[in-house]
Amino acid sequence: MFSALIENLHNGSWLTLEVSPEKSAAFETVIQRLRSLRLWEKVDGFTVTDNPLAKLRYGSLFAAIRLQEAFGKPVLATISMRDRNLLGIQSDLLGCNEAGIRAILAVTGDPAHLSDQPRVKGVFDANSMELLKITRHFNRGIDYAGKEIDPAPKPIFPFAVTSAKITQSLKRKMAGKIENGAIGLISQPIFSIEDADRLLEVFDEAQSEFSDERRDARLIFGIFPLTRLKTAQFLHAHVPGITIPDRFLSALYEANKVSEEREYAVGFEMSFEIFKMLRRRKLPIHIMSSNRFETVNKMICSKE
């Protein structure tokens, strides 16, 4: 299962879909929505978010297990360092390993002050870089204290995220994650092919520092179909690391004054243009949508 996913990462056909668990004791409703659209047949795998924006949601690791069992497709389970200490993380990795969840998306986590729950404090025993180091230890059959794990875990496939903003520190941060074993970096959403080119250039520079198997890491381009002005404004104002270009905001604003249908059509067309350009160039793609699966299905199935 995971070998096929990694092969797709290297041959340029990678297409994964982000799934966001809801604040519910039942994950089955999300599974049924994916099943009704047969989306599991159209993607190579899924990622599952872990309480994004520090909002209470169904547990990411349990959701990853449910998804993988339901569809037989590999799932990258997001683990946020905000909510776990180093002991809890290692314990979760051991349990996930036996349950078949062996692809991990390491994130530091959004600030705890964004939470919708009272008195929430971030653990932040370490950052996402530390989680990548832990997976390197596990892949050598030892825990983070250097002690043997018996039996040893099956291979873990570590991924990380990267900003889509070109900053002076971006190359250094990318290189650090590659150095610590990330085989793929999933970018925050990009909103133009020019953004993709600039991001890939920085990634290539970061990767050029290595001469071993770490040169096999890949950059995976995140895209978010923007079909509503309200969504674009929220992402721009409240989600760390995401900046919506003025051309998107302006186009959606003007379309919104006409009708909801016009707003959706304009946003979808602009988003689809980026998607199809990435597909033509055989670049790995990860789709985020806040569970707007109907829009994702339309994007994947639309003719170029």
Q: Return the domain boundaries, the chain.
A: 2-225+282-289
pLDDT, residue 304, reads: 64
pLDDT, residue 211, reads: 83
3 state SS of 37:
coil
pLDDT, residue 239, reads: 80
Q: Please report which helix (H) or strand (E) contains residue 287, including its range.
A: strand 285-287
Burial classification of residue 33, based on how many CB atoms lie within 10 Å of its CB (0-12 exposed, 13-18 middle, 19 or more buried): middle
Contact assessment for residue 88 and residue 133, using Cβ atoms and an 8 Å cutoff: no
Q: What is the pLDDT of residues 84-141, one digit of tens each?
A: 999 999 999 999 999 999 999 999 999 999 999 999 999 998 899 999 999 999 999 9
The number of angstroms, rounded, from the C-alpha of 24 to the middle of its chain's C-alpha atoms is: 21
- CA angle, 17 then 197 then 193, to 5°: 60
Q: What architecture is the 2-225+282-289 domain classified under in CATH?
A: Alpha-Beta Barrel (3.20)
Long-range contacts from 150-154, C-beta under 8 angstroms, 24+ separation: 153/93, 153/94, 153/97, 154/97, 154/102
Which residues of the chain fall below pLDDT 70? Answer: 304
Left, alpha or beta for 293 (phi > 0: left; psi -120 to 50: alpha)? Answer: alpha
pLDDT, residue 89, reads: 96
Other beta carbons less than 10 A from residue 54's beta carbon? 20
Q: What is the pTM (predicted TM-score) of this model?
A: 0.94
Q: At what angle do helices 260-280 and 246-256 cross, to 10 degrees?
A: 150
Strands 75-80 and 285-287: unpaired
- Of the candidates 169, 277, 269, 282, the one whose C-alpha atom is nearest the C-alpha of residue 219 is 282
